[in-house]
Amino acid sequence: MQIDELVTLAEAALFASGEPIDNDKLAQALEIESDEAPKIIKLLNDRLSKGALCVLELDGEYQMTVRNEYGGFVKKALEEKRNTALSPAAMEVLTIAAYNQPVTKGFVESVRGVDSSSTVNSLVEKGLLAEAGRLDLPGRPIAYKTTSNFLRCFKMSSLSQLPDISADPDQMTIDDITAEETDGQTAEE
């Protein structure tokens, strides 16, 4: 298959999907090796460079989107409500999740010191957090992780782009919470 045809097929798949497509899945659909897909995406971005669209890389996935400079016009054209800024509580929860994922609501609440259920639920509804399975602990709590939408909103291609945080010896981790929950269960029995 010709390179131009592969670029066109990648463009069609990304446009039709509307959601991020994994590198391996795209390569499989194009019938190419996985390491060739980024080259096809680069050629596609070169082709799109004079238009309103571009392809973002989001932690090993690709998504076609409108360039930032056209976002306001698109919102106006679609008559969408203006996005509201995230609350400080939502930003705290996202920070905790991004640096410690996967996290449970209980872990987030332990770190913040306040009930965070509604904030976590709101972030799931907004597509910034997603369920990442259940932990093998009493009650089988749901674990949450950040999404590709989180990466796109914060203009990152992967979580490795998060700023470093200093290692505070007093900082609690999910392992600390897991140990406390396990110890508490054993002590009660």
pLDDT in tens, 124-139: 999 999 999 998 888 8
Which is it for strands 53-57 and 61-66: parallel, antiparallel or unpaired?
antiparallel
- In tens, the pLDDT along 86-114 reads 899 999 999 999 999 899 999 999 999 99
Would the pTM of this model clear 0.85, i.e. be above it? no
- In tens, the pLDDT along 1-58 reads 799 999 999 999 999 998 899 999 999 999 999 999 999 999 999 999 999 999 999 8
Burial 81-101 (b: 16+ CB within 10 A, else e): eeeeebeeebebbbebbbbbb
Per-residue confidence (pLDDT) for residue 189, from 0 to 100:
45
User: Which residues, including other chains, have CB under 8 Å from residue 91's CB and lie 6 or more apart?
Assistant: none
Domain ranges of the chain: 3-77, 88-188
The fold adopted by the segment(s) 88-188 is: Arc Repressor Mutant, subunit A (1.10.10)
What amino acid is encoded at 93 in this protein?
V
Tell me the two tokens of residue 72.
Answer: 């306001």
Q: Residue 26, class by beta-carbon neighbours within 10 Å (0-12 exposed, 13-18 middle, 19+ buried)?
A: buried
CATH of domain 3-77: 1.10.10.10
Question: Are 159 and 94 within 8 A, CB to CB?
Answer: no
User: Which residues, including other chains, have CB under 8 Å from residue 52's CB and lie 6 or more apart?
Assistant: 66, 67, 70
**Residue reference for tokens 């010896």:** 169
* DSSP β-bridge partners for residue 142: 134
